[in-house]
Structures are given as structure tokens and as C-alpha cells.
Amino acid sequence: MATNPPNLPSGGALHSVAPSAGTSPGVQTTGIRTVLAPLGLNIRSAPVEGSQAVATVAQGTVLNVVGYNPEGSGWYQVKSDSGSGWITVNPLYSSPHRFTVYTSAQRGFSALYLEDWTFSENPGSVVFRPQSGGGQAIVVLTGAKVDDLGAAGRDGYTLLRSETAEVYGVTATLRIYSRTGTVASPGPDSPPPLMHLAELRFTIDSSRAMRLDFGYDDQALLPEFSDFFSSVAFPAPATPGPSGSPGASPAATAAASPTPL
């Protein structure tokens, strides 16, 4: 059974990262990066893709950022107990925040959630939200089939855009909605009726499906949802499907999933 962390002081402020002079907005030259990728992340000897890996650090490892190089897609220079070197700036692999791990064999998944958040387990879902009582919440539902998890969208919301996302090697559609009408009071398996709704619904294999909903008011909070679903992991199918299929094992779809880079 998963357990909650001790209560943290109220406030729930995110760990903000201010760019240093001369760097692009959002680029770090100091601070921390926590590894999100369930299969870990390579620290490389040089800021070049394919350079020697000096260490592979596990999900949840906190790295200290000491520099930045814009070469290619960009690289952070980091230090850790496992070694020093360079990691990709790709936000699917690491985050500037600190996290607590949630894992439940009964629910069939694990994930990282922000250290100043908590969670509650309902018969049909797991709900993650700030300990400070902030309005936003991530709701995770699992079932045998995606149709068992409810229709896409929600009454009172209008679809703004859709894009492709990867959840542990499985391709999913990320849908972003905006509230445009009256929304019914949410049940325990629904996010709060805030201004925006982000949603992922996908099939893992022939007997498993997952739905993740994020209700939020401020567009700047959407990276919280990206951090969460980038860290989600679940057991591989007993019989993997062909590479790239919804039932393919994470190992078979390593090119698409956030594996060591």
C-alpha cells in the first residue's frame, strides 16, 4: 500500500528557476534537476549526443546544475554522487522540482509527485493535489479498457488542442480543454472544475488502460502534469506487442520513451 509523506509547511510554492543573465528564458545554470525518466538518465562526458556515458542515474535522483551549453538541443552540466558531466535539457527526462515517489502494486503503476503535494486513494482512482489546498489536482484512473474509464472530455469544457505524448513508451493523445460552460460538481474520480483541463487516455495492453486528468486554473501550471506523466511507469505486458504498438513493452519502444539518453 502506498503511503503519504509527512505534512510539509503550508504554502505549496513551486521550486522556481530563474535564468541567469545571458541565457534563454527557462534555462538553468544553477539549482537542481530531478530525474523523471523511469528507466534512468545518462550523464555524458561531453555535451554531445552519443558521447561516452560516465554514469546512469536512476529515476528520482537529484542532480546539481553547474552550467549550461546550447550545443544541439541544449545540455545541462551537472554533478552528483554518481559522477559529473552533461544531461539533455529535454524536460521529459528531468525537472527543476523535488518529488516523492508513489507506487502501488494494487493500482498497477508508480509515479513521482511534487514533494509539497499529497494523495488520496478512492475505490476507482488516485488523486494527487497540493498539501496547501491549492485547487489543481491530478486524477489517475485505471481499468481493463479505455472505454471503461469514461468518454473523452467533460461537459462544460471545449477542446482547445490535441498533441502526442509518451507515457512509458506508450503513445497517447494529450487533450487540452478550456472551461466554457457550467460544470457539475465533481465526484471523487474527477478533477476540480477549474478553468482548464488536461487529459490523457490510452491503452497499455489488451487488459490494461489508464486515464490521467489534470484540473488547473493557471496555464503556467501545465508543466506539473508533464512532470507527472513523464515519470509514470507500469509493469510490462506479459506478451509484448510489436514495437510501437499500444501493447509493446517499454523496452521494445525505447526509441519513443524517456529512456537513458
> What pLDDT, on a 0 to 100 scale, did the predictor assign at position 225?
97
Residue matched to cell numbers 506539473? 224
> What pLDDT, on a 0 to 100 scale, did the predictor assign at position 249?
39
> What pLDDT, on a 0 to 100 scale, did the predictor assign at position 228?
98
Domain match, 75 and 118 both: no
What is the CATH number for 73? 2.30.30.40
In a domain, 128, yes or no: yes
> What pLDDT, on a 0 to 100 scale, did the predictor assign at position 133?
77
Residues contacting 52, CB < 8 A, separation 6+:
44, 45, 46
Final residue in a domain of this structure, among 45, 74, 95: 95
| Mean pLDDT calculated for residue range 2-8 | 40
| Mean pLDDT calculated for residue range 37-50 | 95
Q: How large a percentage of the chain has pLDDT more than 90?
A: 70
Domain match, 226 and 104 both: yes
**Digit-coded pLDDT (tens) for 130-171:** 998 778 999 999 999 999 999 999 999 999 999 999 999 999
Domain count for the chain: 2
CA distance 231 to 229: 5
In a domain, 154, yes or no: yes
In a domain, 22, yes or no: no
What is the CATH number for 202? 3.40.1000.10
Final residue in a domain of this structure, among 95, 115, 132: 95
Give the residue, 175 or 23, on which the prediction is more confident.
Answer: 175
Domain match, 88 and 119 both: no
Domain match, 86 and 178 both: no
> What pLDDT, on a 0 to 100 scale, did the predictor assign at position 8?
31
In a domain, 252, yes or no: no
Domain match, 218 and 106 both: yes
Domain match, 87 and 134 both: no
**Digit-coded pLDDT (tens) for 91-141:** 999 999 999 999 999 999 999 999 999 999 999 899 999 998 778 999 999
> Which has the closest alpha carbon to 176: 194, 196, 193?
196
What grid cell was written down for 212?
A: 490521467
Domain match, 72 and 104 both: no
Domain match, 138 and 190 both: yes
Q: How large a percentage of the chain has pLDDT more than 70?
A: 81
CA distance 226 to 217: 16
- Domain extent at residue 220: 99-231
Domain match, 80 and 106 both: no
> What pLDDT, on a 0 to 100 scale, did the predictor assign at position 234?
96
Domain match, 115 and 227 both: yes
> What pLDDT, on a 0 to 100 scale, did the predictor assign at position 14?
28
